[in-house]
Structure 1
Amino acid sequence: MRLTSVSGSALWQGLAAPDGVDVVCEAGLVPYAQALAAMEARNTAIGEARARDLVWLLEHPPVYTAGTSASLDDLRNPQFDIVPAGRGGKHTYHGPGQRIGYVMIDLKQRARDVRGFVHALEGWVIDTLGDFGVESWRSEAGVGIWTRDIDGAEAKIGAIGVRIRRWVTMHGFSVNLNPDLSHFGGIVPCGIAEKGVTSLTRLGLAVSAEQWDRALVARMGDFLARLAQPCPTPRAGE
């Protein structure tokens, strides 16, 4: 079983991925409900040894998604549909210009370490942002990827939200390349009211989806290697 393009759009060509992992890079927008159904089906197939691990890179039409810890208090003035996601975390926004990475990995074949998986995801995104000259980090403010905004304040540039079913992972991360940041104003993103969100475009960097995908996939070997290591003890600022 191999997942093909849901959107019907062309996929980026020539991305070399580590053996045992499929990579699908969507060039078009994939409706969230369709993506969720396809992801759940692939998760089941991986768990039953009928499919390989998958990293699926895509974008959604504008939507708010609600994690298992979502609160109605975090809704301000939602402009788009709110869809239950089944992942951990609170409300978040997805839309054009935000690159999503859905990561479906069988942890039974690696380390059965939930915190280690999240730590590895964060490190993968942090390293890739560094390849574009953006310093980013983990923060005590909450799970996700943080950087300095144009005003010097700490702001979120990437979000993490995962679900693990029978030791096969689902969902993953999002990174703001050039989304409409005003759309985040309909919610309290990830339940953190005192922190803002930013994007590569806001930081003065023009990075296309294809450029991001190629840089991310080039770092995939490092990500997979982290999954075989014990999760480091958290330090202040991480």
Structure 2
Amino acid sequence: MSPSTPEWLVTAGLTPYPDALSIMEQRAAAVLAGEAQELVWLLEHPPLYTAGTSADPSELITPRFPVFPAGRGGRYTYHGPGQRVGYLIMDLARRGRDVRCYVHGLEGWVIAALARLGVEAFRAEGRVGIWTRMGGSEAKIGAIGVRVRRWITMHGFAVNVAPDLSHFGGIIPCGLPDYPVTSLHSLGIAADLATLDAALAFTFPAFLETLSCAGENET
């Protein structure tokens, strides 16, 4: 039986990170048990840093905000107001059982949504994240970090709409010291979270289609 369209939830305000982890865990267990549908959850966090399973303590430069172990793949990242975070609870047992395909599709979804806002974003060989051009250099505008357990996904992506970019200075984001972090507003794109959400919703069906390419990670 084909999976149904996931529930789409947007939470206003700032969601504490421990609360988000708890909700994701509960929903993942319910999806695994067949007691709940898949979920796309869009939210914001208060200022904080998260540490992925490959986090190097030397990359935590100035922990001016709380630091939380995330359980996802990857290294340190920042979340805060003005950044759209998307958490996906998806059942890959019904969508191809291919983690690499899922991560690649997730990247493509964010890239396609940004294109609708006039931003040329792309993957960069050997560098994790969602990238764009800023002047004569390349800058990171989004992150992907996932966890897959018993074919149920958790975590997802973060896109910088209008966060305080100085907050990234407390860490080496995703272990890449030689590249800056940017945002839609820094690129001159006058979009808000709702505008990005609309672009994500428009491009979401195409993302679901990519999950048919059957056969943990910060990207």
Instruction: Tell whether the structures are fold-level matches, with TM greater than 0.5.
Output: yes
Which residue in 1 is equivalent to 2:193?
209
Determine the structure 2 residue equivalent to 1:74.
59
- For the residues of structure 1 that align with 2:168 and 2:187, how far apart are their CA atoms? 17
Aligned equivalents of 2:214 and 2:181: distance in 1? 31
Question: Which 4+ stretches in 1 moved above 3 angstroms?
Answer: none
1:152 Cα deviation after fit: 2.1
Matched with 2:6 is 21
Distance 1:89 1:26 in 2: 25
Q: Write out per-residue CA displacement over residues 119-160 of structure 1, whole angstroms, 9 at most, x where no aligned residue.
A: 0000000000000110010012422100012x3211100000
2:35 to 50, 56, 79: 50
Alignment of 1:61-210 (within 5 A): 61-149=46-134, 151-210=135-194
Letter in 2 for 1:196: P
User: Which of 31, 39, 44 is equivalent to 1:59?
Assistant: 44
Which letter maps to 1:166? R
Match of 1:222 in 2: 206
Q: Is the 8 A contact 2:60 2:171 kept in 1?
A: yes
Shift of 1:28: 1.1
Structure 2 CA distance for aligned equivalents of residues 215 and 27 of structure 1: 18
Count of aligned pairs between the two proteins: 213
| Contact 2:95 2:214 survives alignment (8 Å) | no
Q: Helix, strand or coil for the counterpart of 1:128?
A: helix
CA-to-partner distance for each residue in 1:37-80, whole Å, 9 max, x for gaps?
10011011101111000000000000000000001110111210
Secondary structure of 1:46's partner?
A: helix
Q: Give the Cα separation in 2 of the matches to 1:141 and 1:126.
A: 17
User: Within 1, Cα distance between the matches of 2:208 and 2:5?
Assistant: 11
1:202 counterpart SS class: coil
Distance 1:111 1:95 in 2: 33
SS in 2 for 1:175: strand
Show structure 1 runs of 5+ residues with no match. Answer: 1-17, 232-238
SS of the residue corresponding to residue 96 of structure 1 reads: coil
Deviation at 1:20, TM superposition (A): 2.8
Question: Quick one: which amino acid aligns to residue 148 of structure 2?
Answer: I
**TM-score w.r.t. length of structure 2:** 0.95
Which residue identity lines up with residue 52 of structure 1 in the other structure?
Q
**1:230 Cα deviation from its structure 2 partner:** 4.9
TM-score where L is the length of structure 1: 0.87
Aligned Cα root-mean-square deviation (Å): 1.2
* Counterpart position of 1:9: none
Q: Percent identity?
A: 57
Letter matched to residue 62 of structure 1: P
